[in-house]
Amino acid sequence: MENRAEASARNDQTARVGVYICHCGGNISDHVDVESLADKAEHLPGVAAVRRNMFMCSDPGQAMILEDLQKGVVDRVVVASCSPSLHETTFRRVLERAGVNPYMYEHANIREQVSWVHHGDAATQKALTLIAAATAKARLLQPLDPLRVEARQHVTVIGAGMAGMRAALDLADRGFSVACIEKTPWVGGRAAALDRVAPTGEAASDLILSLARRIMQHPSITFYPCARLVGFDGYVGNFSLDVEIVPPEVPNDEELRRAHEAWTAKEPVFVPSRGALIAPVPSTPQRFRLETGAVVLATGFRPYVPKHGEYGYGVYREVLTLPQFIEALRDTAPQKGSTLTIDGRPIRSMAMIHCVGSRQIPGLHEEGPSGHLNEYCSRTCCAATLFAAAQVRERFPQTHVFDFYRDIRTYGRGQEEIYQHAAKNKVLFFRFEPENPPQVQPFDGPGGFPLTVSVQDTLTFGEEVHVPVDLVVLAVGMEPSDIGDLVHLMKLPVGADRFLLEVHPKLRPVEMATTGILLAGTCQAPMDIGECCNAASAAASKAAVLLSKGFVTLDPFVAEVDAQKCEGTGACLEACLREGAIRWVEGQRNGQTVRHAEVVAALCLGCGACVAVCPTGAIQVKGSTLAQFEAMVEAIAAEVAA
Amino acid sequence: MALVDINFADELEQFGAPKTLECFHCGTCAAICPLIDQHFPRQMIRYAQIGAKDRILERGAELWRCLHCGLCTQTCPREADPGEVILALRRYVLHHWRSSDHV
């Protein structure tokens, strides 16, 4: 009751509210009687002007508001239109342009909450109620200042694959200090297991080395091998990361030992399938804290591992995955003769099967141990498969290649030619339906082939075709890396496909819901190396935009303590959901030192849990005070008839 | 059921069709072919690709309906020369007809 008295006492009798009602084409005006609504709204307390427009968000609509504000007809604004998530920012900007504090604004949603769900008189009545409530709140609005927090000129990149390296370099070149933490001793990620890369045919090792050299030499990049994130705290501009370094057992890892011996501070040491060594392998465990402004996640992917017996995988030694085959093909060169030899066995005929572990269909494919199906297309396997197929045909013309596909799309610039090229090189295609996938079985016919691939081939008019082969290669899809610990630690949103989820796939494609955390590369979705680098450069740009001013502005809708009213009960500290957002400080009251609560604005979530428990009403969320809410409730209860 | 003969395309090369495997089954040849049969010449070319000799010999007579008008070869987007494949198949069937039970 005390609060209510206060509310009316503080009710700003001089406030001049402008109410702007949008027709939204006919979206609103088809169901809400906008004309009578405007007439009624004029009589609401505190309203100085009511106007209507077909599209309030249009330039003429905005100009109408701007003019009223500039002429002083109104000093605060209520727009009744669509959802605030669409245009609240638009209208706040109008206030800014008029030289009025942008927080003297209230939004009434009369589209999603009214015209899309109610019809007739009831709709008009509810629209009026919402406008009355918004107006009542608007009368009590106070100018607010956006929060401004210092931003460290430092970015941490997690993962040193192609995407991680690319992001680190872009940021370092823009003048930021960069820490790059990588859980293995190597840089290069999955690309290190590749040979030549489609569509241009560059060596993957060259791509890795060109970035690795620059990382090594760049004075602003600190690379931490064998490092993992173990603690995460803070907010945009001011994150604290705890990093743990666990040295690997070098003598047990022959390749690592040799690379480590060969390492000098001058050149990276490249080891196929492992990566490039660009820093000495740490010898002692260590734990330290990184103070950083933004975090770029570049944690990558892992190839799908077929289940035991899936297309004969794990049952017949002649069945390999595409990554295994690429490594085998790379390691066999140079070879004499025109027939490919793998493990000493001549490969006269080989089958490649697409979409293994991708585009899986519920009810048709068996779920993995985690209960998941990979329903997405892995995007890169078609091009990689056909690129490998064409390489085989060119280097070993006596080796026949048979390609079994559900659908083929070597999407992307310069990649369609790979398909053409493979077909020109006499790769023979078979097309199957998902419910009739190829069967890999032992072969006892002529020629001494170990296996046969049988398929109901839609290209041969649905006939069952048997292909005798020496080798089967499974084009496996991509799955996200196992980063459950990071997801838990940093509270990262994960999509239904288990990849990390951006805020919006088109409008904010490399940002996460937590400002200051960005996505680069295949931790977000299957991508090829070019796309990884695109995404990494985008993430680097976003991080730079966030931090480059040296400060970050945040919405001011956070809790605030009235030190004069706070009696130090501590209820707010107990109720607070965000650790560190409320703390004790000492202050003076009536000449005495007293302890009272204080809000750390940058950490506050603005949830209001503290407001609900404070016995003295000393804590309020700015922009949503109890007085404002009470005024809204009273306006709703007043039941103005539409 | 057909067992793919991985050497048949090479064999057909001796009969004058070096590009059999370059066809990717778009169906343009069958669409433009003035013969009524729905899948001619595409189906024959497919049999040639997978080396389904029995199918080719069984349906050998179809090959002689081709007028060699050349429309398929003209329109083939892969320049796989379908008209030439049909002629090579005729030569192949002729070569084998005495020893086969089909003709």
Query: Does residue B28 sit within a domain?
Result: yes
Strands (E), A406-477: 428-431, 439-442, 451-457, 463-469, 471-476
Query: A265 or A215: which carries more pLDDT confidence?
Result: A215
The three-state (H, E, C) secondary structure of A488-535, written as one string? HHHCCCECCCCCECCCECCCECCECCCCCEEECHHHCCCCCHHHHHHH
Report the alpha-carbon distance of residue A616 to residue A566 in Å, rounded: 7
Backbone angles phi, psi at A291, to 5 degrees: -100, 120
CB contact under 8 A, B52 and A400: no
Report the alpha-carbon distance of residue A75 to residue B3 in Å, rounded: 84
CB contact under 8 A, B46 and A426: no
CA proximity to A481, closest of A498, A502, A495, A501: A498
Mean pLDDT of A529-535: 96
> Would you call A466 an interface residue with chain B, using a CB distance cutoff of 8 Å?
yes
Q: Which residues of A touch B24 (CB under 8 A)?
A: 423, 429
Q: Is the pLDDT of residue A7 over 80?
A: no
Query: Does residue B71 sit within a domain?
Result: yes
Backbone angles phi, psi at A222, to 5 degrees: -105, 125
Q: What is the pLDDT of residue A511?
A: 95
Q: Is the pLDDT of residue A534 over 60?
A: yes
CB contact under 8 A, B22 and A464: no
CB contact under 8 A, B50 and A460: yes
A531 Cα to chain B: minimum distance (Å)? 29
What is the identity of the amino acid at A171?
Answer: L
For chain A, give every domain's residue range: 1-145, 154-300+481-552, 305-476, 558-621
A195 Cα to chain B: minimum distance (Å)? 26
Other C-beta atoms within 10 Å of A287: how many?
12
Instruction: Write the DSSP symbol of residue A191.
Output: G
Architecture of domain A305-476: 3-Layer(bba) Sandwich (3.50)
Beta bridge partners of A197: A202
Give buried/exposed letters for B64-102 (b at 16+ CB in 10 A, else e): eebeeeebbbeebebebbbbbbbbbbbebbeeeeeeeee
Strand, helix or coil for residue A403: strand
Residue to mutate among B50, B54, B58, B81, with most A CBs inside 10 A, is B50
Mean pLDDT of A300-309: 96
Query: Does residue B103 sit within a domain?
Result: no
Q: What is the pLDDT of residue A3?
A: 46
A208 Cα to chain B: minimum distance (Å)? 35
Report the alpha-carbon distance of residue A432 to residue A410 in Å, rounded: 18
Mean pLDDT of A117-142: 96
**What is B17-62 written as a DSSP string?**
-TTGGG-----HHHHH-SSS-TTTTHHHHHHHHHT-HHHHHHTHHH
In the numeric block, which tokens belong to residue A61? 């609509």
Query: Does residue B38 sit within a domain?
Result: yes
Q: Which residues of B touch A351 (CB under 8 A)?
A: none
A468 Cα to chain B: minimum distance (Å)? 7
Q: Which residues of B touch A400 (CB under 8 A)?
A: 6
Strands A478-480 and A301-303, bridge-based pairing: antiparallel
Report the alpha-carbon distance of residue B37 to residue A612 in Å, rounded: 81
Report the alpha-carbon distance of residue A155 to residue A539 in Å, rounded: 11
pLDDT digits 0-9 by tens, A60-92: 999 999 999 999 999 999 999 999 988 999 999
Mean pLDDT of A36-53: 96
Any idea which residue has 């743990």 for tokens? A244
pLDDT digits 0-9 by tens, A152-211: 999 999 999 999 999 999 999 999 999 999 999 999 999 999 999 989 999 999 999 999
Q: Would the CA dihedral through A97, A101, A103, A105 be positive or negative?
A: negative
Instruction: Write the DSSP symbol of residue A311.
Output: G
Which range in A84-88, A234-238, A282-286, A588-592 is most confidently predicted, on average pLDDT?
A282-286
A461 Cα to chain B: minimum distance (Å)? 8
Which residue range(s) make up the domain with B85? 7-98
CB contact under 8 A, B46 and A459: yes
Domain containing residue B12: CATH number: 1.10.1060.10
Q: What torsion do the CA atoms of A497, A489, A291, A221 make, to the nearest 10 degrees?
A: -40
Report the alpha-carbon distance of residue A195 to residue B90 in Å, rounded: 44
Query: A440 or A266: which carries more pLDDT confidence?
Result: A440
Contact A540, A519 (CB under 8 A): no
Strands A471-476 and A349-356, bridge-based pairing: parallel
Q: Which ipTM did the prediction report? A: 0.92
pLDDT beneath 70: ranges in chain B: 1, 36-37, 98-103
According to CATH, the topology of domain A558-621 is: Alpha-Beta Plaits (3.30.70)
pLDDT digits 0-9 by tens, A540-575: 999 999 999 999 988 899 999 999 899 999 999 999
CB contact under 8 A, A348 and B78: no
- Restricting to A residues 331-360, those with a Cβ less than 8 Å away from any Cβ of B are 348-349
How many Å separate Cα A29 from the centre of its chain? 37
Q: What is the pLDDT of residue A642?
A: 52
DSSP-H helix ranges across A198-356: 204-217, 254-262, 322-332
How many Å separate Cα A507 from the centre of its chain? 12
pLDDT digits 0-9 by tens, A240-257: 999 999 999 988 999 999
Report the alpha-carbon distance of residue A101 to residue A95 in Å, rounded: 6
CB contact under 8 A, B4 and A468: yes
Q: What CATH homologous superfamily does A154-300+481-552 map to? A: FAD/NAD(P)-binding domain (3.50.50.60)
Contact A212, A185 (CB under 8 A): no
Report the alpha-carbon distance of residue A300 to residue A521 in Å, rounded: 6
CA proximity to A383, closest of A437, A328, A422, A428: A422
Q: What is the pLDDT of residue A336?
A: 67
Cα angle for residues A596, A602, A608 (degrees, 5° grid): 65
Number of domains in chain B: 1
Mean residue pLDDT across chain A:
93
Other C-beta atoms within 10 Å of A361: how many?
10
Backbone angles phi, psi at B72, to 5 degrees: -65, -45
Chain B interface residues (partner A, CB cutoff 8 A)? 1-4, 6, 9, 21-22, 24-25, 39, 43, 46-47, 49-50, 52, 78
CB contact under 8 A, A464 and B1: yes
Instruction: Write the DSSP symbol of residue A114.
Output: I
Same fold, A1-145 and A558-621: no
Mean pLDDT of A602-616: 91
pLDDT-derived band at A331 (thresholds 50, 70, 90) equals confident
Report the alpha-carbon distance of residue A359 to residue A378 in Å, rounded: 8
In the numeric block, which tokens belong to residue A216? 């090594």
Beta bridge partners of A239: A234, A292
In the numeric block, which tokens belong to residue A46? 């505190």
Architecture of domain A1-145: 3-Layer(aba) Sandwich (3.40)
Q: Is the pLDDT of residue A641 over 60?
A: no
Query: Does residue B85 sit within a domain?
Result: yes
Query: Does residue B2 sit within a domain?
Result: no
Contact A18, A71 (CB under 8 A): no
Percent of chain A with pLDDT over 70: 97
Q: What is the pLDDT of residue B103?
A: 47
Q: What is the pLDDT of residue B60?
A: 87
Q: Is the pLDDT of residue A344 over 50?
A: yes
Percent of chain A with pLDDT over 90: 84
Query: Does residue B52 sit within a domain?
Result: yes
Q: Would the CA dihedral through A246, A251, A256, A262 be positive or negative?
A: positive
